[in-house]
Chain A
């Protein structure tokens, strides 16, 4: 079955710490990959996406993600987090044959302390 796994459900960091959130997906075919963020009280917003090309993609607010096909992974990174990065982060995948639907991971709640 097509599925997306996020390894960390809750992450607590201090400001300026580095962040890496893991995302793995189950399927070996062509995939379109996304990271969304949901700040408290707000809607899901796109952080970055990968369709093809350079496997290291840069998104908004200093976030980046690396697609590693052999590991079925698309991990999100940020070198130095800020308090304003406190939010929930969702990895999502459109699988080949999945038409247009996004399959979401369970989400990771990030709390950044000043």
Chain B
């Protein structure tokens, strides 16, 4: 069964460092997403990406965040200068169409120290 894969599964970084979280969405999917879950809180939407551009982003997704689909298979989330409050589980997801179910990866646990 096709699945969304994310790497790394865990990332520890120092405050102020840049991190790149990587995702390989399901190959025939057209919509890509990043969500995050801070420990003990809800899963929150960060950004959606369609047709090589951001289609929607949340208030969380400020100038420190960026997304890219560099090579037609990978989908990356970059945090330019990490803060302690960026520590969370980051989930990548993809969907075949809009407004339909998203398929999630296993997540990357980011710890900022």
What residues make up the interface of A, taking CB atoms closer than 8 Å to B? 32, 34, 36, 42-46, 49, 51, 90, 92, 94, 99-107
Contact between A100 and B104 (Cβ–Cβ < 8 Å)?
Answer: no
Question: Does B74 reach chain A (CB closer than 8 Å)?
Answer: no
Given A90-B43, A105-B42, A106-B42: A100 and B99 within 8 A (CB)?
yes
Most chain B CB atoms below 10 A, which of A49, A100, A106, A107: A100
Question: Does B102 reach chain A (CB closer than 8 Å)?
Answer: yes
Which single member of A36, A42, A94 contacts B99 (CB below 8 Å)? A94
Chain B residues 59 to 102 lying within 8 A of chain A, measured CB to CB, are 91, 93, 95, 98-102
| B106 contacts across to A, CB distance below 8 A | 42-43
Most chain B CB atoms below 10 A, which of A43, A45, A90: A43
The size of the chain B interface, using a CB distance under 8 A, is 28
A49 to B101, CA, bound (A): 8
What are the 8 A-B residue pairs with the smallest beta carbon separation, nearest first? A44-B104, A104-B43, A101-B45, A43-B106, A100-B98, A99-B56, A43-B104, A46-B101
Chain B residues 16 to 63 lying within 8 A of chain A, measured CB to CB, are 31, 33, 35, 41-45, 48, 50, 55-56, 58
Q: How far is the CB of A58 from chain B (nearest CB, A)?
A: 15
| A107 contacts across to B, CB distance below 8 A | 42-43
A46 to B96, CA, bound (A): 14
Closest to A31 in B: B99
A107 to B44, CA, bound (A): 12
Contact between A100 and B31 (Cβ–Cβ < 8 Å)?
Answer: yes
| A106 contacts across to B, CB distance below 8 A | 41-42
Q: List 15 A-B contacts (CB under 8 A).
A: A42-B106, A43-B91, A43-B107, A44-B43, A44-B91, A44-B93, A44-B104, A46-B101, A49-B101, A90-B43, A99-B55, A99-B56, A101-B56, A104-B42, A105-B42
